[in-house]
Every structure is written in C-alpha cells, then in structure tokens.
Amino acid sequence: MLEALRKHTQGWMAKIILALIVVPFALFGIDSYLNQAGGQVAVAKIDGHKISLQEYSNAVENARNYMQSQGEKVDTALLESPAFKQSILDGIITRRLVEGAIQDYRFRISDEQLSQHIVDMPEFQSNGKFSEDTYNQLLSQNKLTPAKFEQGVRKDLTVQQVRDGLSNLVFMPKSVAEQSLMSEFEQREVSVADVKVNDFLSQVTVTPEQVQAYYNQHKTKFIAPAKAKIQFALLSAAGLVGQVSVSDEEVKQEYEANAAKYQGNEQRQASHILIGFNSNASAQEKAAAKEKAEAILKQVKAHPQSFEKFAIENSQDTGSASKGGDLGSFGRGAMVKPFEDAVFSMKVGDISDLVESEFGYHIIKLTGITGESSDFDSAKLKIKAELLFQKAQAKYAEMADDFGNTVYEQSGSLEPVAKKFNVQLQTSPAMSKDEIAKFFKSDRLATLVFSDEVLKEKRNTEAVEVSPNNLVAARVVEYTPEAPRNFDEVKGGIESLLKLEAAGKLAQQKGEAMLADLKAGKQVNADWIPPVTIDRRNAQGLTDGVMRNVFKVNTHTLPAYYGFNEANKGYTVIKVISVNQKLKDTPEVADKAYKAYEAALGAEMSHAYVASLKAKKNIQFNAKVLLSKGNE
C-alpha cells in the first residue's frame, strides 16, 4: 500500500499538513522532522540535546498560521507575547520527551495502520473513497515527498498511541461521578444583603498629617510613567486611494458581473400562466403553443380579476397552476432572464404580453413588490468606491514589504521612507507605553517604542501592521523617564483612598456583627434582595463575588449564612434558604457530563505523565535567545 501511495509524489506541504495531522503535531512537529539541519543556536536543551532556533521559529510561525487560518479574530499582541512563545517551546519539549519515551518503550505503528490512516483522511477522499489521484495531486502541488509525509504521520500516530494508552487507564466509579454531577447541578435558593462602604464615608475623617505620612511611606506607588513623543509614518490602503483610479468602463463591468449584489434587496411576487413547449419543439409546435397562449391572453386581458381561475384551468406549470399561478417572492437572478426582465419592468397589478423563454410562453401578473431596488446610476458611486479601495489594497500589499525594508535599512530616520512612499510624517503628543498601545491599538508597537534599540540606539521601530491594511513605523523624538509625582499632584487621591479604607473597616465590622447575630438566631434588620434560585451555571444576576462564595456555605442547617469582605466595596452576607441536589437533567446530559469528567481526568493524567518525564531530565532554556527580537 505504501509503495502505491508513493507513486508520483514528492516535496513539502507545510500548509496542507496543518489540516492533515492532529493539531499538536501540526504546531510543533512539522519542521522538526522535515528540516533536521536546524541551526547551531539552541533555544533549549534536554539532557544536552539541542532544540534549535530554526525548529522553534518554524513552530512559532506554524502556530500563528494555524490560529489565523481558523477564521477567528486573533490578537496580534498575543501572538507576539513571551507567554505564547514559551507555550510553543513547551510543546516542542513535550513532544521530544514523549518521542523519547516511545523509543524507550518501543511503541510502533505498523505499515497497515499507517496506510489505513492515510486512506481514511478526508483530504484524500473523492466520492467517499480514497483517491490516489487526489493524494498525488495534493502532494505534488505542494512538493511533499511521500516518505517524509508518511514519516511524520507515523510519528504522530505513535504519539497518539501513547495518549490513548494513558486515556485507557482512566476510570471513574459511577458513584463518584454521580456525586460530582449532583454537586455540578445543585441548585440553591439564596438571598443577599450588602453592607456598603459608601454608606460609611461620611463617618470618617482623614487628617493632612495622615495623607502626608501615607505619601512618605508609599512614594514608589506614585510614579509618573515614562513617556515618549514619537514621529511615525503610516502606510495604509485608505491613504493610497488617491493614487489609484477606476474607469467608468470598469464600474460598468463590475455592475454587470455582479448585478444581484448591486441591484438592491428588491423582491417581486408574481403569478404566471405557462403554455409550454419542448426544447426540441418544431416551428409548427411553437406556433401552435403561441396561438393558444395568445387566445388565453386575450381572455385574461378582458377579465384580469379572473387571472387565478385562468391559471388553474390553463397553466402547464404544474407546480404553480393549482395555486392560481402564484410563484411567490423572488429577487434578481432567480428566474430565467426573459422572465426576470419582464417582471422587474412591471408595476403591481400589471399583466404582461406574451413572454417567451426556454420553457414556453408566459402570461405574467405582478402581485407585489418588497425591498428596494438600485439601478446602475444609483449604484455606480458605491461600486467605484469599492473598486478604488480594492486597488488601493492591492497597491498596499505590493508596497508593504518594501516599506518595512526601507524602515529597517535606513533606521536612522523616517524621512527616506516618507519621501519614497509619499506619506506624511506625523508627531504624537507625549504618551506612556499604555497610551501608545491604546492609541495605535497595538501592544507590539508600544513595546518596540520603549525598547533599548529605539530609545538608546535612536533607531526606527520595525514596521508593524497595527490593523489590517495599516502599517506603522515610529521613532522617538522626545523621551521623559519615569519620575515620582509630587505630593500636591496626588494628595487628593490619597485622601480619598484613606477614607475608603477607613469606611471599609467600619463596613466590615458591621457586616461581621450582623453575620454573628444571624448565626445565633437573632433578628437582624438587613436589606435582603428577593430570593433567587441559582446553580453553578446560572448566576441569576448575582455578582461574581457572591458566586465564588455561595457554594462554600455549609448547608447542614438551613437557613445557612456566610459572609465575605471585598476591599473598597463592602461586606456581603449570603443566606442559603434551600438546597436541591436532585438531578433534573436527562440521562443523555448526565452521560455527557460523565464523559467530560473522564476526559478531564485523562488530561490530568497526561499532564502528570509529562511532568514526570520532565522531572527526570535536565532541561535548560536560553531565555536571551527565546525572547530576543528577530528570533523568528
């Protein structure tokens, strides 16, 4: 089988392999088995064995591509974060450790298992069966050698074998699962009373001496952040609209090619009487059909109110005849063109002359119009704007790499890139790192602005795509380091903070006293909310703080009380009135939940297994290389 699969195949298929092999292998294993040359720089070592910078960089890029290919909006800042990069490296390490264990325990995938797996891959299916032509075509188009492809699939299946082996060890007794489910679906009827901090603010005073003392003891809390005034160049598709043009002929062609898109959402309702003829009808047969249709048309014109009756008696369209010829509502593009042209030229109540189509002769009555129509004259400005932006996007795509290269190659100034790409240099007010990130909607650009390379070496940042079709490069023209705020700047805020803290203590004292009285069975004057029934999935409007604590309440005796304090908010007392642990869900839901528990237990076992493998190895990280710019 493997030899048959190898016929006429060769090369590398990085994009398709992402869809063909399970995600962990797709993210971490692709380039490690395709490119053993790697590089001499190591980002980590496992017992002295290197994980090369090249293998790591390729895995990072593959992970980014995979996440972006899923169609969900992905935060670019996340993809640049140290946490993301570390997670990729952890994945490579995990795979290396598992592969080592596979060798130690001699796990194997037979040729038959491998062949069956490839044959079952949906990407190679045609009409529900494995297609060798499809297999060969996909591999050939993407230059993947079958030997390398099969090697990678075999390796991944072996890893899956280990994973399955761990999963098969998982067992959860039904009694334990049932108890967990009862806890998961448990309902509690509760009420809540708040002792609010704000109610005590009027009872506290703060002296100037207390404010000054707090400032003296906490000066490190009152630091003005570093700020940078930056000069930046923006290359955007919107900014390039003025550099492209669209002719009237292009607008007309676009309108005609996509008429349904531009002709509005108008729907027309019509009825018809069809006198049909076959597609191979003779001229004599067509003439006879036309003569019959003309006779019916004459009657319809004389008695338009009886159109439905004539349709039922004469129309040869069996689908609509019984409904008086009613075809329902339809938009442009739904009917054959002669029919559509006639319908969309009529007014409500009109009855057409004979309309010939490939089906025969139609007598049409327009019975309704909904939505709005748009002719060429009213749509052309919109079309032109769309075409202009499409051309601007294409021009932006052509210029983006050159823009980035120019910014990098002439890193001492933005003047060259501004002149070359005819963009205006702009200067921002002084902004902190957070303010720059918010202004440009890019954590990446903000990080670069405050990097040593930009601040100390006076270089441009790299060009960063802060949003689709918007590329920004910046340099710092003025920098103010962080510095302590003076007392006058912050004394008002300190006074408010100290009042809030003092009021919070009073609120907590009252709340704790109220809780103690309630537990002692005493009557307490509290502002309870109306009781609500909640479970772990349905908060019924209760706060996150209440939901974090409500299931901690010991309910052996009801009603049961519990209290907790939230700084600067106040003290909250929870009253549990009743508890219902009966499982109301269907057996299917319970079974699904049971399987979820088993899966979670299996995942924990896998994590524990990997942790045990790591504990036996000397794993070293090269943090400088891992987090340095340009490592990918």
pLDDT for 482 equals: 93
Determine contact, residues 234/428, Cβ cutoff 8 Å: no
Residues 568/197, Cβ–Cβ less than 8 Å: yes
State residue 102's pLDDT score. Answer: 76
The confidence score (pLDDT) of residue 72 equals: 53
Q: How confident is the model at residue 176 (pLDDT cuts 50, 70, 90)?
A: low
Specify the number of domains making up the chain.
Answer: 4
Half-sphere exposure of 218 (CA within 13 A, CB side): 14
pLDDT tens-digit readout, 17-55: 333 323 333 333 333 333 333 445 778 888 888 888 888
Q: Which residue has the higher pLDDT, 529 or 42?
A: 529
Say which DSSP state 569 is in. Answer: T
Q: How far apart are CA 517 and CA 575, in angstroms?
A: 13
Q: What is the pLDDT of residue 32?
A: 37
Structure confidence by residue, pLDDT tens digits, 345-392: 899 999 999 999 988 999 999 999 987 766 778 788 888 999 999 999
Q: How many CA atoms lie within 13 A of 619 on its CB side?
A: 16
Are residues 32 and 92 in contact, defined by beta-carbon separation less than 8 angstroms? Answer: yes
CATH number reported for the structural domain that contains residue 367 in this entry: 3.10.50.40
The whole-number pLDDT of residue 46 equals 87
Q: pLDDT confidence of 248, banded at 50, 70, 90?
A: very high
pLDDT for 23:
34
pLDDT at 4: 33
Same domain, 71 and 112: yes
Q: Look up the domain containing 346 and give its range.
A: 266-373
pLDDT-derived band of residue 475, with 50, 70 and 90 as boundaries?
Answer: very high
Average pLDDT over residues 283-289: 91
Which of the pair, 38 or 306, is modelled with greater confidence?
306
432 and 398, same domain (yes or no): yes
> Is the same domain home to 137 and 213?
no
- Tell which wins on pLDDT, 208 or 76: 208
Least confident of 137-151, 333-347, 410-424: 137-151
Q: What angle do CA 220, 222, 224 make, to 5 degrees?
A: 110
Same domain, 158 and 42: yes
User: How large is the average pLDDT for residues 281-289?
Assistant: 90
Q: Are residues 454 and 498 in the same domain?
A: no
Residue 598 in any domain: the answer is no
Same-domain check for residues 11 and 138 = yes
Q: Could you tell me if residue 299 is inside a domain? A: yes
Residue 270 has pLDDT above 60, yes or no: yes
| Residue 151 scores a pLDDT above 90 | no
State how far the alpha carbon of 14 is from the alpha carbons of 63, 323, 576, 577, in Å. 12, 57, 57, 60
pLDDT at 423: 94
Q: 276: which strand partners?
A: 360
Averaged pLDDT, 459-484: 94
Share of the chain above pLDDT 70, in %: 82
- Of 348, 373, 398, the residue at which a domain comes to its end is 373
Please give the pLDDT value at position 575: 96
Taking the C-alpha atoms of residue 296 and residue 194, their distance in angstroms, rounded to an integer, is 82
pLDDT digits (tens, 9 = 90+) for 582-630: 655 556 666 766 677 677 777 777 788 888 888 888 888 876 666 554 4
Q: Does 533 score more than 80 pLDDT?
A: yes
414 plus 363 within the same structural domain: no
Residue scoring higher pLDDT (331 or 577)? 577
Same domain as 525, residue 463: no
Distance between CA atoms of residues 310 and 301, nearest Å: 11
Same domain, 124 and 61: yes
Boundary of a domain, candidates 484, 502, 521: 484
Task: Rank 39-48, 85-94, 164-173 by mean pLDDT and report only the highest.
Answer: 85-94
pLDDT at 6 over 50: no
Position 59 pLDDT exceeds 90? no
**Is residue 368 domain-shared with residue 419, that is, in the same domain?**
no
User: Are 23 and 161 part of one and the same domain?
Assistant: yes
**Pairwise CA distance, residues 602 & 169, whole Å:** 8
Using the predicted structure, report yes or no on whether residue 569 has a pLDDT greater than 70: yes
Whether 592 maps to a domain, the answer reads no
- Decide if 309 is inside a domain: yes
230 has pLDDT over 50:
yes
pTM of structure: 0.47
Q: Binning pLDDT at 50, 70 and 90, where does residue 405 land? A: very high
Residue 275 lies in a domain: yes
Of 282-286, 368-372, 493-497, 515-519, the poorest mean pLDDT is in: 368-372
Same domain (yes/no): 288, 277: yes
Is residue 59 assigned to a domain?
Answer: yes
Under 8 Å between Cβ of 45 and 51: yes
Average pLDDT rounded to a whole number, residues 259-274: 82
**Which one of 355, 373, 391 terminates a domain?**
373
Cα distances (angstroms) measured from residue 399 to each of 208, 249, 396:
61, 27, 5
CB 343 within 8 A of CB 366: yes
Does residue 345 belong to any structural domain of this protein?
yes
Across 268-286, average pLDDT:
89
- Evaluate if residue 460 carries a pLDDT over 50: yes
Average pLDDT, the chain: 83
Give the residue-averaged pLDDT of 482-510.
93
Rounded to an integer, the average pLDDT of 330-351 is: 88
Bridge partners, 479 (sequence order): 228
Establish if 258 belongs to a structural domain. Answer: no
pLDDT value of residue 13: 32
Q: Identify the burial level of 372 via C-beta atoms within 10 angstroms of its C-beta, where 0-12 means exposed, 13-18 middle and 19 or more buried.
A: exposed
Angle at the Cα of 297 from the Cα atoms of 295 and 367, rounded to 5 degrees: 160
